[in-house]
Chains A and B, each alone.
Chain A
Amino acid sequence: MNREEKIEKYLKELNEKYKIEIYKKNERKYYLTTSKDTAPDLVRFIFRNYNARLSIMTAIDTEKGIEIIYHLPLDCLNAFFNVRTFVDKKKPEIESVGKDINGANWIEREINELFGVNFIGHPNLKHLLLREDWQEGLYPLRKDFDLLKKGKI
């Protein structure tokens, strides 16, 4: 089986197992959009079964809510699977993958403090980059963050 067939097979398998929307950016980058309930399961599935690595997670403050992208490179296939999901801005909560994948531990802490997303089940969700007495409810990378009203820096 060559590279293209393998990727095709993986995407088909994922499509049957989970409800996802596939967007192919180019030959190497695939974006899989799904709901926030299935995203952690999907990430764990890709990580365990397709020999993938968790490169990092990106969070972006958008109009539709806080967008979280899990970047999973498949090193033997020269491809990136990017699992994309949205969490509600009023009650940002999603299940943690850091409890199973150690590599996601720090980045979940970072997203938690910079965007205020609560990762349910994370073993140690305290501040990573900001100081410990940083003002509660102030999330510096959100769009509505006001520099003039910032807490102690």
Chain B
Amino acid sequence: MKTTKIPIGPYHPLLEEPECFTLYVEGEKVIDVELSVGWNHRAIEKITASKNYDQGVFVVERICGICSTSHPFAYVQAAEEAGNVKVPQRAHFIRTIIGELERIHSHLLWVGLAGHFIGYNTVFMWGWKWREPLLELLEMITGNRNHYAMFKVGGVRRDIDVALFNEMNKRLDVIWQKTDMITKAVLDDPVLHARLKGIGVLSKEDALNYCVVGPTARASGVFQDIRYCHPYAAYNQVEWKVIVQNEGDVFAKAVVRLLEIFESIKIIKECLKKMPEGEIDSRPEKMEKGDGIGVHEAPRGEVFHFIRSNGDNVPERVKIRAPSFMNIPSFKATCMGEYISDVALITAAVDPCYCCTERMIKVIDKEKNNGELTFNDLIKLSHNKTRKIMEETGKEFIKLENI
């Protein structure tokens, strides 16, 4: 059978970052996937290594807009380990609260997008509607809806006022209730079962070999959560459980994310109860020499930062690894043998938004001229077809130049 090549991306109205997937298809079946990234390389590792530690937090916060607290979270931990900086207990609790609030908003955003991709727009409306009070809550606490700028090496920048605790609890109750409704509606829907189950299965062996992280790994039966396995901040002082599913398909990934929202709400509520009084910032004045590793479980998986400090106020080397760097290569395992129409869903399940693929299709005629068909080629083909139809039906073909 003829193999056709379909590039998706790199620039696409729905994508938050430019990436390009080239699908090799035979008929409707995908037989190979080629991935390419780096369309918008910003050299943040290099930039961060020329800024001091306070500016560095600001820079890494701009890596991603949706999980804008994950990178600073990992960065400050790496810097604190490298420079041997102590952090007050209250700051640990505030960090945990911000991290979890962000996880809820990110998962709700994903649920909405996933619903939109499969044409279930009610879920999209629900998910984004109930994400809104959460963003307002973040604005009340941090002053910003996104890019919270709460973290600094040695602590946090702002305290959470006791007067806000009541409001937070009230809003979280509402979100719990609404998420419960969405979860029940999604998990009990027979249409969604038929659409999502058994699609894009990532086996446990593949998950381990591709070293995938976060919900993608947990949906494939890998018990791996950085908050649990390598506890940091206040995660070992509160009660919660790791959600693991064994199926590895798109449905399992949705279940993991939806159930994690409840765990996050539990963590925040317990943090609010247990939060100790005291300082929020240790005001470090000197960085020691050494290496530091900081990890944080972002909504999409483990964020990894490595910092080498040479005792200066500028780090010598900063290595940043976002979770999608490990998750995206696993498309090679999940997309193989699936139908084209499912690929959008499978790639979206990992949580880099991917859909509306049809709008960016470039058609390549491999057998004839081995080149890409441009817009003009397609118009020519269309003209030829019209001419053929006209001739067959006996009507006169109107040339474009004569109009």
* B53 located at the interface, meaning its Cβ lies under 8 Å from any Cβ of chain A in the complex: no
Chain A residues in 8 Å Cβ range of B61:
none
Answer whether residue A80 sits at the interface, using C-beta atoms and an 8 A cutoff: yes
The answer to whether the Cβ of B325 comes within 8 Å of any Cβ in the partner chain is yes
Return the chain A residue nearest B318 by Cβ.
A58
A80 contacts across to B, CB distance below 8 A: 230, 293
Q: Which B residue sits closest to A103, measured CB to CB?
A: B211
Complex alpha-carbon distance, A55 and B308, angstroms = 17
B326 within 8 A of A: yes
What residues of chain B lie closer than 8 Å to A106, measured between beta carbons?
325, 329
- Please tell me if A54 contacts chain B, counting CB pairs below 8 Å: yes
Interface string of A94-121 (1 = CB under 8 A from B): 0000000111111100000000000000
| Min C-beta distance of A120 to chain B, whole Å | 21
B291 sits at the interface (CB 8 A): yes
- Contact of B302 (CB < 8 Å), options: A25, A29, A55, A131: A55
Known: A53-B224, A128-B38, A141-B46. A105 touches B229 (CB 8 A): no
Which residues of A11-44 are within 8 A (CB) of B?
A: 25-26, 28-29, 31
Task: Bits for A113-142, please: 1 = Cβ < 8 Å to B, else 0.
Answer: 000000000000001111100000000110
Q: Does B93 belong to the interface (CB within 8 Å)?
A: no
Q: Which of B81, B229, B293 makes the CB contact (< 8 A) with A76?
A: B229
Interface residues on B, range: 20 to 34
B319 interface hit (Cβ, 8 Å): yes
A129-B38 contact given A55-B321, A106-B329, A141-B45, CB 8 Å threshold: yes
* Cβ-based interface call for B393 (8 A): no
With the chains together, A131 CA to B210 CA distance in Å? 25
Select from chain B the residue with minimum beta-carbon distance to A127.
B38
Task: Mark each residue of chain B from 214 to 240: 1 if its CB lies under 8 Å from any CB of chain A, else 0.
Answer: 000000000110000111000000000
Question: Which partner residue on chain A sits nearest B232 by CB separation?
Answer: A28
Indicate whether A7 reaches chain B with its CB closer than 8 angstroms.
Answer: no
Most chain A CB atoms below 10 A, which of B211, B229, B326, B329: B211
Report the nearest B residue to A141, measured CB to CB: B46
Which residues of the partner chain A approach B224 to less than 8 Å between Cβ atoms? 53, 75
Give every chain A residue within 8 A of B37 (Cβ-Cβ).
Answer: 128-129
- What residues on B are CB-neighbors of A102 within 8 Å? 206, 209-211, 329, 332
B73 interface residue (CB < 8 Å to A): no
Query: Is A69 located at the chain interface by the 8 A CB criterion?
Result: yes
* CB neighbours of A129 from chain B (8 A): 37-38, 41
Give the docked Cα–Cα distance between A24 and B230 (Å): 17
Bound-state CA distance A20–B226 (Å) is: 28
Do A58 and B211 have beta carbons less than 8 Å apart? Answer: no
Task: Output the least CB separation between B317 and chain A (Å).
Answer: 5
Contact A31 B38 (CB under 8 A): no
Residues of A contacting B317 in the complex (Cβ-Cβ under 8 angstroms): 58, 60
Whether A140 lies near B290 (C-beta < 8 A) is no
Chain B min CB distance to A56 (Å): 4
Distance between A107 CB and nearest chain B CB, rounded to angstroms: 8
Pick the contact of A31: B45, B291, B316 (CB < 8 A): B291
Our pick among A31, A73, A141 for the contact of B229 (Cβ within 8 Å) is A73
- Chain A residues, Cβ within 8 Å of B321: 55-56, 107
Q: Is the CB of B293 within 8 A of A130?
A: no
Nearest chain B residue, comparing its CB with the CB of A54? B211
* Contact across chains for B211 and A55 when beta carbons are under 8 A apart: yes
Q: Are A103 and B81 in contact (CB under 8 A)?
A: no
Instruction: For residue B94, give the distance in angstroms from its CB to the closest CB of chain A.
Output: 23
Determine whether B304 belongs to the interface, using a CB cutoff of 8 Å to chain A. yes
Assess whether A28 is in contact with B230, with CB atoms less than 8 Å apart: yes
Q: Across the interface, which residues of B come within 8 angstroms of A128, CB to CB?
A: 37-38
Find out whether the CB atom of A29 lies under 8 angstroms from the CB atom of B293: yes
Binary flags per residue of A62-89, CB closer than 8 Å to B gives 1, else 0 = 0000000101010110101010000000
Q: Taking A55-B321, A58-B306 as contacts, is the C-beta distance between A103 and B326 under 8 angstroms?
A: yes
B43 beta carbon closer than 8 Å to chain A? yes
A106 to B37, CA, bound (A): 10
Whether A103 contacts B209 by the Cβ 8 Å rule is: yes
Can you give 20 A-B contacts (C-beta < 8 A)?
Answer: A25-B81, A25-B291, A53-B224, A55-B321, A56-B319, A56-B325, A71-B293, A75-B229, A75-B230, A80-B230, A101-B211, A102-B329, A103-B210, A103-B211, A103-B329, A104-B211, A106-B329, A128-B37, A130-B38, A130-B41
Q: Which residues of B contact A (CB under 8 A)?
A: 37-38, 41, 43, 45-46, 81, 206, 208-212, 223-224, 229-231, 290-291, 293, 295, 302, 304, 306, 308, 316-317, 319, 321, 325-326, 329, 332
Having A26-B81, A53-B211, one finds 4 other A-B pairs with CB under 8 Å, namely: A55-B321, A78-B229, A102-B209, A106-B329
